Structure 1
């Protein structure tokens, strides 16, 4: 539940340059930022163990579907909604919606724990709201408070999501580092496209038809042995 002081509107901070926007977002979305992203595979580990993902090509196809038809696109919409939010009540609705569109118990924990860790860290360093929020919602709120460019935030957040899953696959398939980076590079135009396509999207546009990814996330809850938390 969202508690505490009313949400600070993004006009409460002076405008920042694009260069500073990029550097701030680079820090927030870096693997070094303490949200524990390395511990989650978003169901990818299940697909790897089943043999559905056994090559760089398999990985690229899988991630493209997740970004376009699943969690990637939904996270963009949720982030934008949180960025434009003007009250705690509206923010609570957005956060509950983020939980509702999570396809499994592990995905709920994934977004809650990362979001909580993100909010706690940004609150200490940048003075943002430390309310426990789902990860894309927390990023959207913090970006609005800091007056970071929302389109840039969405694109870089989507790229960071893809990057984390590529890193998980490099460890679990296994793939070579160069193969992994080639997959990530190939997904850059798609990240940009999805970021642009969600500019006018609202919560009513949330959906998911990445069924294999959702099923993999559900099956991961009983997967043994396993390395990742989701």
Structure 2
């Protein structure tokens, strides 16, 4: 039986960096936001795992899961500093409620602060998807992988939030993420052929839930 030195595993550093940025350990405070799920569960709009799956599918096709990748890609392809600021202002204007604006603003600011501190790049405060797209461009990270991993992290965080709000077990949560995987991949792929003028959103119940959350008496999350 032949023996020899083990063949070293080649790991793409860019993938490792994206994993770090989108890990729950990266201090952007994603665990504190539910994107309106807190209110949706409270009012009964989401009462089962099937309801949750449909809600997330809608977000990925017609909500922030559709618009955020477009903003991220626009920031990745920005022309100059003025263009980048215009994209960021559009991201802020597109937020449907006070708390959804805070969600993207505060997570983005935390991401920029931490990433600037560990990378040496100067990054002004930007909304979360814009910040990630801009940082990915600075680090020459692959755009397709960045968008895909961003959307997976988006869905994962909402599943984790739902597990604190309703009876969704660990295995059931992972089963749900597996079921969403093809839709996540398609959303990431479709976003790469979209333009900033294609921004749209029609998840009105999710938007209303985020507004209702502002005055919800008992709350677990910040949004």
> TM-score higher than 0.5 here?
yes
> How far apart, in 2, do the equivalents of 1:21 and 1:161 lie?
19
Q: Aligned pair in 2 of structure 1 residues 121, 189: CA closer, same or farther (>3 Å)?
A: same
Q: CA RMSD in A?
A: 1.1
- 1:23-45 alpha-carbon deviations (Å, 9 max, x no partner): 11110000000000000000011
Partner-residue secondary structure (3-state), 2:205:
helix
Q: Aligned pair in 2 of structure 1 residues 18, 87: CA closer, same or farther (>3 Å)?
A: farther
> How far apart, in 2, do the equivalents of 1:71 and 1:60 lie?
15
How far off its partner does 1:18 sit? Answer: 7.3
TM-score (norm 1): 0.91
In the alignment, which of 13, 22, 35 is matched to residue 29 of structure 1?
22
TM-score (norm 2): 0.94
Q: Which runs of 5+ in 1 are unaligned?
A: 1-16
**Number of the residue aligned with 1:225:** 218
Tell me how many residue pairs correspond in the alignment: 214
**Number of the residue aligned with 1:147:** 140
Contact 1:53–1:173, Cα closer than 8 Å, also in 2:
no
**Number of the residue aligned with 2:7:** none
**Number of the residue aligned with 1:132:** 125
**Number of the residue aligned with 2:6:** none
Partner-residue secondary structure (3-state), 1:130:
coil
> How far apart, in 1, do the equivalents of 2:156 and 2:116 lie?
25
Q: Is the aligned partner of 1:84 residue 2:77?
A: yes
> How far apart, in 2, do the equivalents of 1:109 and 1:64 lie?
23
> How far apart, in 2, do the equivalents of 1:98 and 1:166 lie?
24
- 1:127-173 alpha-carbon deviations (Å, 9 max, x no partner): 23320000000000000000000010001001100000000000101
Partner-residue secondary structure (3-state), 2:153:
helix
The more displaced of 58-67 and 122-131 is: 122-131
**Number of the residue aligned with 1:62:** 55
**Number of the residue aligned with 1:156:** 149
The structure number with the bigger radius of gyration is 2
In the alignment, which of 36, 53, 66 is matched to residue 73 of structure 1?
66
Q: Which runs of 5+ in 2 are unaligned?
A: 1-9
Contact 1:45–1:220, Cα closer than 8 Å, also in 2:
yes
